[in-house]
Amino acid sequence: MAELLVFILFAGAVLGLMSGFPVALTLGGVSVLVALLGATLGEVDMALMGALPGRLVSIMTNETMLAVPLFVFMGTVLERSKLAEELLITMGQLFGGRRGGLGFAVLFVGAMLAASTGIVGATVVAMGLISIPAMRRAKYKESLSCGLVCASGTLAQLIPPSTVLILLGVMLQDANTQAKLRMGIFDGNPLTVTDLFAAAIVPGFLLVSLYTAWMLFVALKNRENCPPLEMSDEDRKSLMRNVIFAMFPPLLLIALVLGSILSGIATATESAALGGVGALALALCGGKFNKRKLGEAARSAMLISVMIYTMLIGATILSAVFRILGGEEMVASLLEVVPGGALGATLFVLGMMFILGFLLDTFEIIFIVIPIFGPPLLMLGVDPLWFGIAAALVLQTSYLTPPFGFAIFYLQGVVDNLKLTTVYRGVVPFVAIQLFAGVLIWLWPGMVMWLPKLLNS
């Protein structure tokens, strides 16, 4: 009977999500209904549900989770302050005298925005509104332009300080604790979001380097697809001054945020507060930020943060009911029969996350998959730090993959006269690059583990 209730739980959640009903209400509502049904049938002890309110309170008061609204606010302030637009124009002029120069500028600015905002949707939209018109004027091939914008925008999922990494860190902390408790291990060395940030830096730079190498190949092979920009003598004279003034604010912010985290001076939450204040100060100094834009940034940050927290509450209720029904034992049995042991089980879970990425948002996948599959997978010996980075990379790839990639629809929705098939053609090479990067971190996990070990030594 417990197996049937677990099936009803998942079937109800899937049907609710596919119907377009709000995610948080779907996950929480279906779980409560299944728990009541289980109690009626004598399969669920409702006394165990009494611990749920305390669990929800601990999530809402989790210090690490406080970093999410603060980093989101930092991103929304930068989005509305026009710092990104000025940076792209200046970088385009700096590299634009060469073939493919504007493409290199888009990748560079995308990486900096990823390290400044941590929000994929905002980064893709901002890059699309700024970059596509500029590349159209420069007569870039449309599909190449779309691929560059989508790929650089999705870097916000992997390059810290990423909200995806924060939520993965929180979920993996709980999964790691559950796995250790079931194995009777009490080593007192919990996984931290700081460790996950450090682990993501080398893979993030690897991905940017691979993108850049591809852009260089295109520039050398198909010159007509990415011609150089035309610049006036006046633009050349003021170029270096513009570069310094455009690059200094975001670089300073990145150095403050990541430097404070990785050096151990501040926790992720404290550095997020520093980033929010720093972004606000830079925006005000730029002279293009006012009270109205501050209100818009605060409102946008509030809506995004409330969405994340409500989804987390719903997912917590789902995982609690799932555990009461003995679902973890069922998942552990499932992973044990997957061919290949821990290797096969890891590929199975990552593959499932990749496919779910066509249907659900990244946050929804993290809140659903990690609490359910995380503890059994970690009990098989999979390193939680490596798995967190692999999951982030897989979700980023899914976000970019046709025909359902969210980044594709973000871009197509904000750019006029843009065919969906054009975007599809543009992102395919970058999807292949991301899959190749995933293979590299699989073959050489030291790329993920090296920096956290160095910082903790």
Whole-number pLDDT of residue 50: 67
Residues 6+ apart with CB under 8 A from 439: none
If one counts every other C-beta atom within 10 angstroms of the C-beta of residue 221, the result is: 8
Inter-residue contact 433 to 210 (CB < 8 Å): yes
* Mean pLDDT for the stretch of residues 2-23: 75
At 283-330, the pLDDT tens digits run 887 677 788 888 888 888 888 788 778 877 887 788 778 777 777 677
pLDDT bin (cut points 50, 70, 90) of residue 96 is low
Q: Given a cut of 90, is residue 278 above it in pLDDT?
A: no
Which amino acid appears at position 367 of this protein? F
In this model, does residue 235 exceed pLDDT 60?
no
Could you tell me which of 159, 157, 189 has the C-alpha nearest to residue 258? 159
Q: What is the pTM of this model?
A: 0.80
Q: How far apart are CA 434 and CA 430, in angstroms?
A: 6
Helix 239-262 with 83-95: angle, nearest 10 deg: 120
Give the integer Cα–Cα distance in Å for 261 and 167. Answer: 16
Token pair for residue 389? Answer: 């980075």
What value does the mean pLDDT take over residues 195-199?
A: 88
**Tokens found for residue 218:** 């295109």
Largest CA distance in the chain: 81
What pLDDT does 85 receive? 65
Q: Which helix (H) or strand (E) holds 440?
A: helix 420-443
More confident residue, 138 or 141: 141
Q: Shortest CA distance to 83 belongs to which of 126, 145, 135?
A: 126
For residue 198, pLDDT over 80 is answered with yes
What does the pLDDT look like over 398-456, one tens digit per residue? 888 876 677 777 777 767 777 878 888 888 899 999 999 989 999 998 888 888 888 77
Instruction: Phi first, then psi: give them for residue 267, nearest 5 degrees.
Output: -80, 175
pLDDT in tens, 32-91: 888 888 777 776 666 666 667 777 777 777 777 777 788 778 877 877 776 766 777 677
Say if residue 24 is exposed, middle or buried (CB neighbours under 10 Å; 0-12, 13-18, 19+): buried
Q: Check pLDDT > 80 for residue 280.
A: yes
In 3D space, the residue among 310, 72, 104, 91 whose CA is nearest the CA of residue 208 turns out to be: 104
More confident residue, 343 or 254: 343
- Residue 210 binned pLDDT confidence (cut-offs 50, 70, 90): very high
Structure tokens at 107: 């990748």
User: What is the chain's Cα-based Rg?
Assistant: 23
d(Cα 123, Cα 134) in Å, to the nearest integer? 16
Helix, strand, coil shares of the chain, percent, nearest 5, are 80, 0, 20
pLDDT, mean of residues 128-150: 82
Containing H/E element for 5? helix 2-18
* Helix/strand number for the chain, H first, E second: 21, 0
Residue 179 makes CB contacts below 8 A (sequence gap 6+) with 374, 375, 376, 378, 379
* Average pLDDT along the chain: 79
The residue ranges of every structural domain in the chain are: 60-317+334-456
Q: Would you state the pLDDT for residue 391?
A: 92
Torsion angle of C-alpha atoms 299, 245, 126, 219, degrees rounded to 10:
-170
**Which tokens in the block code for residue 203?**
């893979």
Q: At 358, phi and psi to the nearest 5?
A: -75, -20
Distance CA 283, CA 287 (A): 7
pLDDT value at residue 237: 63
Note every long-range contact of 212-215, with CB atoms under 8 Å and residues 24 or more positions apart, other chains counting: 212/104, 212/107, 214/429, 214/430, 214/433, 215/100, 215/103, 215/104, 215/107, 215/148
Give the mean pLDDT of 387-396.
91
pLDDT digits (tens, 9 = 90+) for 161-175: 777 888 888 888 888
Q: To the nearest 10°, report the CA torsion of 388, 389, 395, 397.
A: -160
Instruction: Give CA–CA dist 395/349, Å, rounded.
Output: 12
Q: What is the DSSP secondary structure assignment for residue 155, as one 8-state letter?
A: G
Tokens 């250790």 belong to residue = 180
